Amino acid sequence: MYDVVIIGSGLGGLECGVILSLRGLSVCVLEKERVVGGCLQSYRRGSWDLDTGFHYVGGLGKGQKLHEIFDGLGLMELPWHKMDVNAFDRVVIDGQVYDYAMGFDEFENRMSGYFPHQAHGIREYVDLLRSVAANIGDSEKSLPLFGVSAKQWLEERISDPTLIKVLCGTSLKLELTPQLPLYTFAQINSSFIQSSWRLKGSGQQVADLLKMRIESLGGVVKTNADVVRLEEDSVQVTAAVLSDGTRVEGKVFISDIHPAATMALLDDSKLVKRIQRGRLSRLDNTYGMLTVSIVLKDSGLPYTNRNTYIYKDVSDIWNPAELAQGRALLISERYDGTDHCRQIDLLTPVMWGEVEQWQDSKVMRRGAEYDDWKQRRAQQAISLAQSVIPALGDMVEKTYVSSPLTYRDYTGTAQGSAYGIRKDCNNVMLTLLSPRTSAPNLLLTGQNLNLHGILGTSMTALMTAAAVEVTDAIK
């Protein structure tokens, strides 16, 4: 019997595994796929490693929160590469270019230069970002901001709609809706403006290093271990049952998979009532992404050390359905240590309804109609990218296209959601989830609980690991 059994090996699950192993607990991580990592994992095509959901991170500078967490996990030894401090992100709106400078003062000066008539509103926004960065992890100061609409907050302080689009312009790393909590918006933007970093190579390195750390501390990480049921007695969960019938017993169980998928493992549970299982299963999910991974010809592109966000004919940047009409695009380069780029990813939002007709299909067996849709959407993304890289079409050697269905099937993410459960400032208690469940020794972790992204998921992992310390079953 293990002290802790973790279901799923996404970032949150692996981080919990390391933290609890460092505390001397015996840990077993169960992953249904053949490789660990969830949305961190990369896949190989020919001689190329292609990422699924990892592109860059924020707040990794010394003295910043992610640096503190990653240093404790041993992840700072990876080859991190700081992005362009003068333009780590570029926002292009209908052909007009706006660059994000790194650092709060520099960012404020840059935005005030673009919009001098909005200097006061920009100052208020940057002050908010500073406050969120300074108080990260302080629930007393952060929780009230979850009940405030980011859209409403910005519109009350900034009268120029173009500036609002610019301040929201890097937000393809979160889903913009009128109900988006201000804290979610501010925390994510704050961390990247503090400092932005790429990893030399693929995001799989993060998952692999965490796996190695768990194993070096005496823990076990099992792949091809598909959990199909959680057994319980009258008091607590007792075992995770795998698809081959193997029972893995534990004192505490942590689920790093989607809460709806976790509830599906508890059919007829007496510990987690049907009403709670139903509530978690009915929560809305954020949109997914179409990702066009492009391998460029040998000449490649000059490496620019930034991301580019493109918007064309977007009237309402807070409307996910409008962005998912092929009007929004993120161009992310892969850094390999040279002055030229051989790989880029194009990411554009996709609403679940667009692919729902193929939801019962399997990878590589979705049919010609799906393949035609995927290629049509990929070409739409490439055409939008050519508005800033005109010669891109001639540089393409190979393209590999994935959709929300691909993410769902390889990572277990409900509806291929890019950012997990949709948070709602008008319904904080329903959409902001606690690590605890009504089963006393079953905890949750991952991007669906509080905040998504690398920093948000890492903060949630700390919360979950702290909850293990006060769980009666582990004493």
Strands 48-51 and 42-45: antiparallel
Mean of the per-residue pLDDT values of the chain: 93
Q: Do residues 268 and 299 both lie within one domain?
A: no
Q: Using alpha carbons only, what angle is made at residue 17 by residues 15 and 23, rounded to the nearest 5 degrees?
A: 105
Distance CA 421, CA 283 (A): 7
Question: How far is the CA of 344 from the CAs of 75, 288, 308, in angstroms?
Answer: 24, 19, 11
pLDDT, position 471? 60
The CATH number linked to 465 is 3.50.50.60
Cβ-based neighbour number of residue 444 at 10 Å? 26
Residue 389 pLDDT exceeds 70: yes
pLDDT, position 38? 87
Residue 185 pLDDT exceeds 80: yes
Distance CA 459, CA 66 (A): 9
Q: Do residues 39 and 102 both lie within one domain?
A: no
Q: How many domains does the chain have?
A: 2
pLDDT, position 278? 81
The CATH number linked to 327 is 3.90.660
Residue 410 included in any domain: no
Q: Which domain, by its residues, includes 100?
A: 80-200+288-350+356-402
Q: Do residues 255 and 363 both lie within one domain?
A: no
Residue 87 included in any domain: yes
pLDDT, position 43? 81
The amino acid at residue 183 is Y
Residue 21 pLDDT exceeds 60: yes
pLDDT, position 475? 55
Q: Using an 8 Å Cβ cutoff, are 292 and 152 in contact?
A: no
Q: Do residues 279 and 298 both lie within one domain?
A: no
Residue 114 included in any domain: yes
Q: Do residues 195 and 227 both lie within one domain?
A: no
Distance CA 88, CA 294 (A): 21
Residue 464 included in any domain: yes
What is the rounded average pLDDT of the residues 113-132? 97
Q: Do residues 441 and 390 both lie within one domain?
A: no
Residue 304 included in any domain: yes
pLDDT tens-digit readout, 429-465: 888 888 999 999 999 999 888 888 899 999 999 999 9
Q: Do residues 309 and 447 both lie within one domain?
A: no
> Looking at 11-25, 212-226, 433-447, which range is the least confident one?
433-447
| Among the listed residues 285, 283, 287, the one whose alpha carbon sits nearest the alpha carbon of residue 430 | 283
Q: Using an 8 Å Cβ cutoff, are 222 and 27 in contact?
A: no
> Looking at 81-95, 216-230, 234-248, 259-273, which range is the least confident one?
259-273
Distance CA 68, CA 60 (A): 8
Q: Do residues 220 and 300 both lie within one domain?
A: no
What is the rounded average pLDDT of the residues 67-92? 97
Residue 275 included in any domain: yes
The amino acid at residue 4 is V
pLDDT tens-digit readout, 288-319: 999 999 999 887 689 999 999 999 999 999 99
Tell me phi and psi for residue 383, to 5 degrees: -65, -40
Is the whole model's pTM more than 0.85, yes or no?
A: yes
pLDDT, position 364? 85
The three-state secondary structure class of 138 is coil
What is the rounded average pLDDT of the residues 78-98? 97
Q: Do residues 102 and 185 both lie within one domain?
A: yes
pLDDT, position 230? 97
pLDDT, position 410? 84
| Among the listed residues 115, 92, 109, 81, the one whose alpha carbon sits nearest the alpha carbon of residue 336 | 81
Last residue of a domain, one of 402, 433, 465: 402
Q: Using an 8 Å Cβ cutoff, are 411 and 256 in contact?
A: no
pLDDT, position 473? 57
Residue 272 included in any domain: yes
Q: Do residues 244 and 103 both lie within one domain?
A: no
pLDDT range class, residue 273, cuts 50, 70, 90: confident
pLDDT range class, residue 255, cuts 50, 70, 90: very high
Please list the alpha-helical segments (H only) found in 23-91.
65-73
The three-state secondary structure class of 394 is helix
pLDDT range class, residue 138, cuts 50, 70, 90: confident
Q: Do residues 267 and 216 both lie within one domain?
A: yes
pLDDT, position 208? 96
For the chain, the first-to-last Cα distance in angstroms comes to 14
Residue 383 included in any domain: yes
Q: Do residues 247 and 176 both lie within one domain?
A: no
Residue 54 pLDDT exceeds 70: yes
